[in-house]
Amino acid sequence: MAYIATIEEENKEIAKRYRAMLRITYQTLSKKDKLQIRKAFETAVDAHKDQRRKSGEPYIFHPIAVAKIVANEIGLGATSIMCALLHDVVEDSDDYTFEDIERLFGETVARIVNGLTKISRLKSDQKVSIQAENFRKMLLTLNDDVRVILIKIADRLHNMQTMEAMPQHKQVKIASETLYIYAPLAHRLGLYNIKSELEDLGLKYTEPEVYNDIFAKIKESKEEQNKYIKEFANSIKTSLNKENFSYAIKGRPKSIYSIRRKMRNQNVTFDEVYDKFAIRIIYSSELSQEKFNAWKIYSIVTDNFNPNPNRLRDWISQPKSTGYESLHITVMGPKGRWIEVQIRSERMDEIAEKGYAAHFKYKHSGESESGLETWLNKLKETLENPDVNAVDFVEQFKLNLYAKEIYIFTPNGDIKSLPKGSTPIDFAFAIHTEVGMKCRGARVNGKLVPLGSELKSGDQVDIITSNAQKPKLSWLDIVKTARAKSKIKTILKEEQKQIANDGKEVLGRKLRHLKITLNEKTINELVSHFKLKTSHDLFYRFGNGSIDNQQLKNFVSQRSNAFYSFFKNRIKRNKNDELVIKNDEVTNKYDLLVFGKDEEKLDYKLAQCCSPIPGDKVFGFVTVSDGIKIHKQNCPNAISMQSQFAYRIMTAKWIDSSQQEFKVLLKLTGIDNEGLVNRVTQIISNNMHVSIHSLNISSEEGVFEGKIVVGIKNNDQLKKLLGRLNKVEGIDKVLRLNK
């Protein structure tokens, strides 16, 4: 419906909305605060006086609405309310600059408004990498002030609430972006109500028919829900009153988005989703008695209704890292229906509703760093890592947004919170980067376990370290947390740089023997000949032995002026000063497809429906008559194939063949002497960059026999290793066995 109003009516409405915003502020505002907010409001009215929204409404309605969300739903104070009112002033008006904002409102307000303006200037693009870079830039504002992100979430919420006038393709794009990053971010900052509303509105525009269908059914069942909640409350009111509790019992309907997710994940209809709402008991309590009273109410509820022992969630003894505290139980309620009951104090409820803002309202001086602050600090650390590209960053960031948490004990009894699915390596990096880097093994509840083992809540983990240990490439497939992934990638990059430096020297020596000078022209030819992307790739492969002498000789025999002439116009330097070939046929680092846990090489064909390319996330599908077909994980047919023919799905992934390891069994025999094992492992691990998978050495009457399984990248590397081991004092013979 089009917006129509006179100027007089508009002015009255603007004043009315402004007063309503001030009336419901969460924080207490002083007289000075109100004067500054008024000044910000008048500045915004002046800056936006000639602007209209797509609906035809005066633009000033938008900043007032954002300020209202900031003031009441997020619960921030005067500075944030001012910033919300001013957030589009510099961007949309030629009359105001950042210098004007700083002069009028001070440095803090100007800095936050500047952060919000930077975000609004990010250009939208369909390319994933550019979108990812935009999100990264947006999140970098956390380094300045977390209020920038909180106000941006409020801005996004109001935009989502008022998208009707936009064209459909823009609605879908903005809604998808909201579901991709803003809703998870709101969740992680403890803004559960806003998270739910963003998800529901996202669904409204991405799947309108589904949204409208569930919305209508929830509306139909509202009366029945209220009746059920009243029946439940009447069953326990007498017991609660007897204990002199001051309390409220409310119903909390599940969001449309979460009902949709349940219907999809469990493959059930709307009527078959049994927990479409929860019952919340909110009680008044002194801080010192909160925990005691929560369990007292738990006792009253379970005296009246049988609990499901597998559905108890105690986030009071150990709050979530977002600061969320509550006791959740599922009981068999009236009419034989399972119902979730949430027990929380008024303080806990306020933190659950307001998240970050309430957390600081209740924070006591001298209190140790909270989980939420720890998470924000770790996020800042990731943001500041220059070696992580934008796509990796967003993937890493999202890992820790919705992840369910487990709680792990250190040997001293301290607790660390980690995402569900974490491994001992994640735990090691959570303790300290140095501990993660040197992690050689782990004891879980006193027993040695593989580093890839999944940890369970309540496990006590003791990390075994060694100065000789270094992170391995295979760890990236094991770890769950963004922190661990980021640190491992950075360390491996440094190690690769060192191997590449060594490789450059090796290449120089080999070329001198062949009477060829190592210069830019030769490097260009070599990079082209081996179908690589950069000079770094070339040097790295010579460093780890992937390119052997015969391959180099083959290059020399094919070398000609014509070869160089063909490629000379297709060479440039990238920002790292590495030589790059502009050649469509050159493959990227993913040049080999492997299948299953053992990374087998099998014959395959690429599916036409989704046209996967090296580097895509893929899976194999065993067809009836055409062998293995490779599909992208987000292929339009993927859901159908995986649900109907799961037994024919094979895991597959693209790898860099120069990084691939092949397990080789070596047998060593000789005369035992002190320090022999240490010298053998040093040669393998430190000097040759080879990983040891298993080691078994026995000695009898001065003669030893050992069997070692090592990870070898190629035959040339194996020959070098055998040569070096044969030179160790005491070793008589080294043989390669066929297992």
Tens of pLDDT along 623-650?
Answer: 888 889 999 887 877 766 765 666 788 8
Strand 327-333 with 313-314, pairing: antiparallel
Higher pLDDT, 625 or 618: 618
Q: Once rounded to an integer, what is the mean pLDDT over residues 664-689?
A: 78
Higher pLDDT, 384 or 504: 504
**CB neighbourhood size of 244 (10 A):** 6
Whole-number pLDDT of residue 63: 93
* Contact yes or no for 457/352 (Cβ under 8 A): no
Whole-angstrom distance, CA of residue 722 vs CA of residue 733 = 9
In this prediction, residue 525 has a pLDDT band, given cuts at 50, 70 and 90, of confident
Q: Specify the CATH superfamily of domain 662-737.
A: ACT domain (3.30.70.260)
Higher pLDDT, 574 or 126: 574
Higher pLDDT, 361 or 110: 110
Whole-angstrom distance, CA of residue 307 vs CA of residue 705 = 60
Per-domain residue ranges of the chain: 7-165, 216-361, 490-581, 592-655, 662-737
Higher pLDDT, 394 or 672: 672
50 belongs to the catalytic site: no
Whole-number pLDDT of residue 644: 63
Whole-angstrom distance, CA of residue 738 vs CA of residue 525 = 39
Question: CA 185, 191, 192: angle at the middle one, nearest 5?
Answer: 100
Least confident range from 63-77, 436-450, 636-650, 692-706: namely 636-650
Q: Taking the mean position of all CA atoms in its chain, how far away is CA 672?
A: 50
Whole-angstrom distance, CA of residue 43 vs CA of residue 85 = 9
Distances (CA, A) of 136 to 83, 143, 485: 22, 12, 17
Per DSSP, helices labelled H in 544-637 are 549-558, 561-567
**CB neighbourhood size of 602 (10 A):** 13
- In 3D space, the residue among 326, 323, 316, 328 whose CA is nearest the CA of residue 361 turns out to be 323
Question: What would the two tokens of residue 527 be?
Answer: 């990079």
Distances (CA, A) of 647 to 21, 50, 347, 608, 642: 58, 63, 50, 22, 8
Widest distance between CA atoms in the chain: 105
Question: What would the two tokens of residue 213 be?
Answer: 């269908």
pLDDT, tens digit, 9 for 90 and up, residues 157-173: 999 999 988 888 888 88
Q: Specify the CATH superfamily of domain 216-361.
A: Beta Polymerase, domain 2 (3.30.460.10)
Question: What would the two tokens of residue 453 be?
Answer: 């083992």
Position 596: which residue type? G
Residue 250 above 80 pLDDT? yes
Whole-number pLDDT of residue 571: 54
In this prediction, residue 575 has a pLDDT band, given cuts at 50, 70 and 90, of low
Position 167: which residue type? P
In this prediction, residue 297 has a pLDDT band, given cuts at 50, 70 and 90, of very high
Whole-number pLDDT of residue 408: 85
Question: What would the two tokens of residue 323 be?
Answer: 């600061």
Residue 578 above 60 pLDDT? no
Whole-angstrom distance, CA of residue 482 vs CA of residue 118 = 25
Mean pLDDT (the chain, rounded): 80
Residue 399 above 60 pLDDT? no
Whole-angstrom distance, CA of residue 71 vs CA of residue 429 = 38
Residue 15 above 60 pLDDT? yes
Q: Once rounded to an integer, what is the mean pLDDT over residues 218-228?
A: 84
Whole-number pLDDT of residue 587: 42
Position 727: which residue type? K
Contacts of residue 45, defined as CB under 8 A and 6 or more positions apart, other chains included, come to: 14, 60
Based on its alpha-carbon atoms, the radius of gyration of the chain, rounded to whole angstroms, reads 31
Whole-angstrom distance, CA of residue 235 vs CA of residue 251 = 15
Position 108: which residue type? T
CATH fold for domain 7-165: Hypothetical protein af1432 (1.10.3210)
Strand 337-345 with 277-283, pairing: parallel
Per DSSP, helices labelled H in 192-335 are 192-206, 208-220, 222-242, 256-266, 290-304
- In 3D space, the residue among 468, 514, 473 whose CA is nearest the CA of residue 493 turns out to be 473
Q: Once rounded to an integer, what is the mean pLDDT over residues 7-18?
A: 87
Return the SS3 of 585.
Answer: coil
Whole-angstrom distance, CA of residue 638 vs CA of residue 219 = 34
Return the SS3 of 624.
Answer: coil
Distances (CA, A) of 504 to 240, 493, 496, 537: 77, 16, 12, 10
Residue 394 above 70 pLDDT? no
Question: What would the two tokens of residue 436 be?
Answer: 């993660």
Whole-angstrom distance, CA of residue 569 vs CA of residue 581 = 9
Per-residue burial over 70-94, b if 16 or more Cβ lie within 10 Å, else e, is bbbbbbbbbbbbbbbbbbbbbebbe
Domains 7-165 and 216-361 share a fold: no
Whole-angstrom distance, CA of residue 319 vs CA of residue 335 = 33
Question: What would the two tokens of residue 660 be?
Answer: 């691939």
* 611 φψ region: left (φ > 0), alpha (ψ -120 to 50), beta (else): left
Q: What percent of the chain has pLDDT over 90?
A: 17
* Contact yes or no for 275/261 (Cβ under 8 A): no
Whole-number pLDDT of residue 125: 42
Strand order in the sheet with 327-333: 247-253, 277-283, 337-345, 327-333, 313-314
- Residue for token pair 């106000």: 151
Instruction: Name the catalytic one among 13, 57, 92, 591.
Output: 92
Question: What would the two tokens of residue 72 be?
Answer: 């009441």
Instruction: Name the catalytic one among 13, 57, 91, 213.
Output: 91
Whole-number pLDDT of residue 328: 93
* 446 φψ region: left (φ > 0), alpha (ψ -120 to 50), beta (else): left
Position 229: which residue type? I
Per-residue burial over 475-485, b if 16 or more Cβ lie within 10 Å, else e, is beebbbbbbbb
92 belongs to the catalytic site: yes
Least confident range from 139-153, 444-458, 661-675: namely 139-153
Whole-number pLDDT of residue 155: 92
Question: What would the two tokens of residue 212 be?
Answer: 């409208």
